[in-house]
Structure 1
Amino acid sequence: MATVFEMEQERATERSAAALAVFETEARKAEIPYGCRSIQDLPAEAASAVGAAARLYDLTVVLQPDTAQDSFDNATSTQILLQAGGPVLVIPHIFKGAFRPRRIGICWDGSRSAARAVKDAKPLLSGAEAVVVISINEVQVAPAEASAQNLMKHMGRSEIATTLIELTAERSEVQPSILSLAADEGLDMLVMGAYGHSRIREGLFGGVTREMLNTMTVPALMSH
């Protein structure tokens, strides 16, 4: 009789084969060069392997963890985000159609992670039709030198026009406020820093990052 681990491993193999088949089909349609690699390992080791490989690429794309399914795969996306050393584009389960980030929102709090995300997203921001800087509780969290206004000036030097929306929200309402604004503004993508705890607990995301991964409705480019 197959063990739970063996059954989960078999399901993971099936999901991997299906995902690779879709990827190969779309890559051929787009007429782009590509390569495929399947990693068979324990979840933690697999996440480390993918995270290490991601350091050699400009962008890593992962699927939003599915909290409705008790799967080892759920930990993989978040671990890749922590280990990639670069931008990770997280695609929500409900997302359909082609990814065209014409309207982009920057979740700005003046932090190192947010600044890293903006730098990583620069190629996409440069090609966007509209860029909205979303500042929440700025007086409480953002250093004066890294204010939203100064970010807008910095973006302007790269000829990226931005508009600013300032929000005030309680801690528990930050993530819902961001997603509500994304819907109201018709945003195609969010850019935001990803936050972990200390090295001992860095696998546990805190606050807004964890909530966003659980309930996201638009693709998000995150950098840790």
Structure 2
Amino acid sequence: MKLLASLFLPTYPDPPGLKVVSNGVAVARHLGSALDAVIVNVDIPDVSNALSSFLLDLPAKIREVNAASRSRGKELLELIAAEAQRCNVPLTSQALKAQPALMGDVAAKEGRYFDLCMVGWTAKNQATQATAEEVVFSSGRPTLILPGDEDVIPLDHVVVAWDGSRVAARAVADAKPFLERASTISIVTVTDEKVLPREDTGDRLAHGLVARGFSATAESIHAGDNEIGAALQDHAIRINGGLLVMGGWGHSRLRDFVLGGATEGILSDLRLPVLMSH
């Protein structure tokens, strides 16, 4: 069965880094999947009155912002179409629109129709970070968060962050297409962050993966004074991991995210591709 992957590209207030386009296509090629490019343009409604129109020319400013968003979206679609053709990746595309506060919500709802969601992440770009959060926690699909400023292929060394929790188990199951294509799988457990269900929890997962025909080993690390998200990424980079797999912990109260420590650390400072499941 061919996988269907989606790549979400918000265009307001700033688009993601251009590397997200080539990275998304490269991942689809790696998985042998079809790709749907989803542009999310802003649609700011005209809420002006006669006074604001006279003093600020607000309707014209709104039209200008909406038009700029659509223009960026068109450019991104052209770039991804050219890249998909070059890499022989089946591509469909669509352009959605949403009010500024609902761009991530629109992306998450569309993501439910795919096997894998991909979102870009760019430092100091609130649009990409907010979209990533919403898709991770509201789409119901595994979400691959891609750096927007550097290449992400190869993904042949997969690092799994494991603590024996439900969300970690969900992430391992969702990572199967990546695990099947990996030459090396490293299970890493942080031992000084929380009480673990058993002392050998990482070894237990590694043994199960080996029994299924994968090449997997387990090791434990200490976060020490580091934030757990930073510790996991530091370790993955140190052992030349190409992809970090982890569960996403968090929930939403009146649309204000309350994130777990590891999740918050990843979403605030992404340094390698992370597949996150909730």
TM over 0.5: same fold?
yes
* 1:208 correspondence with 2:262: yes
| 1:121 maps onto 2:175 in alignment | yes
CA 24–172 in structure 1, closer or farther in 2 if over 3 Å, else same = same
* Distance (Å, rounded) in 2 between the aligned partners of 1:200 and 1:174: 26
Query: Is residue 106 from structure 1 mapped to residue 163 from structure 2 by the alignment?
Result: no
Q: Which structure would you say has the larger Rg?
A: 2
Q: Name the residue aligned to 2:247.
A: 193
Aligned to 2:223: 169
Secondary structure at the aligned position of 2:251 is classed as coil
Alignment partners' CA distance in 2, 1:106 and 1:33: 29
Q: Percent identity of the aligned residues? A: 27
Give the equivalent residue in structure 2 for 1:132.
186
Q: Are residues 1:83 and 2:138 paired?
A: yes
Higher helix share: 1
Asked if 1:68 is matched to 2:131, the reply is no
Letter in 1 for 2:271: T
What letter matches 1:23 in structure 2? I
CA–CA separation in structure 1 for the residues paired with 2:114 and 2:194: 36
Matched with 2:83 is 26
Q: CA RMSD in A?
A: 2.5
Query: Unpaired segments of 5 or more residues in structure 2?
Result: 1-56
CA distance in 1, matches of 2:62, 2:202: 48
Aligned equivalents of 1:46 and 1:182: distance in 2?
31
CA–CA distance in 1 between the matches of 2:228 and 2:128? Answer: 27
Corresponding residue number in structure 1 for 2:23: none
SS across alignment from 2:141: coil
TM-score for the superposition, normalised by structure 1: 0.86
Which residue of structure 2 aligns with residue 148 of structure 1?
202
The answer to whether the Cα contact below 8 Å between 2:233 and 2:244 also exists between their aligned partners in 1 is no
- With 76-85 and 15-24 compared, the bigger mean Cα shift is at 15-24
Higher strand share: 2
* 2:24 corresponding residue in structure 1: none
Sort the Cα spacing of 1:14 and 1:30 in 2 relative to 1 into closer, same or farther, 3 A.
same
**Contact residue 171 and residue 247 of structure 2 kept, 8 A:** yes
After TM superposition, the score normalised by the length of structure 2 is 0.71
Count of residue correspondences: 221
Deviations 1:69-110 (A, max 9, x none): 4x44442221111111111110013322x6321111001111
Structure 1 spans left out of the alignment, 5+ residues = none
Q: Is the 8 A contact 2:116 2:144 kept in 1?
A: yes
Shift of 1:204: 3.6
Is the contact between residue 98 and residue 106 of structure 2 (CA under 8 Å) also seen in structure 1?
Answer: no
Q: Which has the higher contact order (CA 8 A, sep 6+)?
A: 1
Deviation, structure 1 residue 126: 1.6
How far, CA to CA, are the matches of 2:255 and 2:200 in structure 1?
28
Aligned amino acid, residue 147 of structure 2: P
Q: SS in structure 1 opposite 2:81?
A: helix
- 1:165-186 CA-to-partner distances (Å, cap 9, x unmatched) read 2112247432222222122111
CA contact (8 A) 1:138 1:147 kept: no
Q: Which amino acid counterpart does residue 80 of structure 1 have in structure 2?
A: V
Structure 2 counterpart of 1:46, from 103, 106, 109: 103
